[in-house]
Amino acid sequence: MAESSGFSIPDPPEFIPDWASEAAVEWAGLDDFSILARAEERTGRQIDLRFAPLPYDTWGFHILRGRRAGIFINRRLPERWKRFALFHELYHLLEHRGGETFWERTAMPMSSFERQADLFAWATALKEWDECWEESSV
């Protein structure tokens, strides 16, 4: 794990599962507006994205209230890690719709849900970073 501007930057996973790579294809490269529009269509919620000054140990979080959702990303993060945090929270909105109280009643530990969101975020971010690298070397 590396250090960047007060943040502990995670090392990439050794392996990204096929499900994460396949799910990442439709999200990588979209601008924030397009991500939110697509997520709103999928979830049926109005989603707001905010970049806020959060503590260094908080990369982001999301909240749900009725038909609305908010994604809050730490504005102090380096740009590429803001995208990673956005994809992580997006995955929770798309796939973990029952909320924390629901998931606490399942046999699966919360760490498993966090791992799934991280794998999706890694798959999506790496696709973007690879595309950016390919464009800059042309």
Residue 8 inside a domain? The answer is no
Give the span between the Cα atoms of 126 and 123, in whole angstroms. Answer: 5
Residue 21 inside a domain? The answer is no
Residue 76 inside a domain? The answer is yes
Predicted confidence at residue 4, as pLDDT, reads: 58
The whole domain housing 112 covers 29-131
Predicted confidence at residue 11, as pLDDT, reads: 85
56-93 core/surface letters (b: 16 or more CB in 10 A; e: else) = eeebbbbebeeeebbbbbbebbeeebbbbbbbbbbbbb
The string of DSSP codes covering 48-111 is EEEEE---TT--EEEEEETTEEEEEEETTS-HHHHHHHHHHHHHHHHH-TTHHHHHHTSSS-HH
Q: pLDDT averaged over consecutive 10-residue blocks of the chain (138 residues)? A: 67 93 96 97 96 94 92 94 96 75 44 88 92 50
**Structural domain count, the chain:** 1
Residue 41 inside a domain? The answer is yes
Give the span between the Cα atoms of 129 and 43, in whole angstroms. Answer: 27
Predicted confidence at residue 102, as pLDDT, reads: 41
Give the span between the Cα atoms of 42 and 92, in whole angstroms. Answer: 13
Predicted confidence at residue 112, as pLDDT, reads: 77
pTM of the model: 0.82
Contact 40, 14 (CB under 8 A): no
* Coil/strand/helix, residue 3: strand
CATH assignment at residue 116: 1.10.10
Contact 71, 45 (CB under 8 A): no
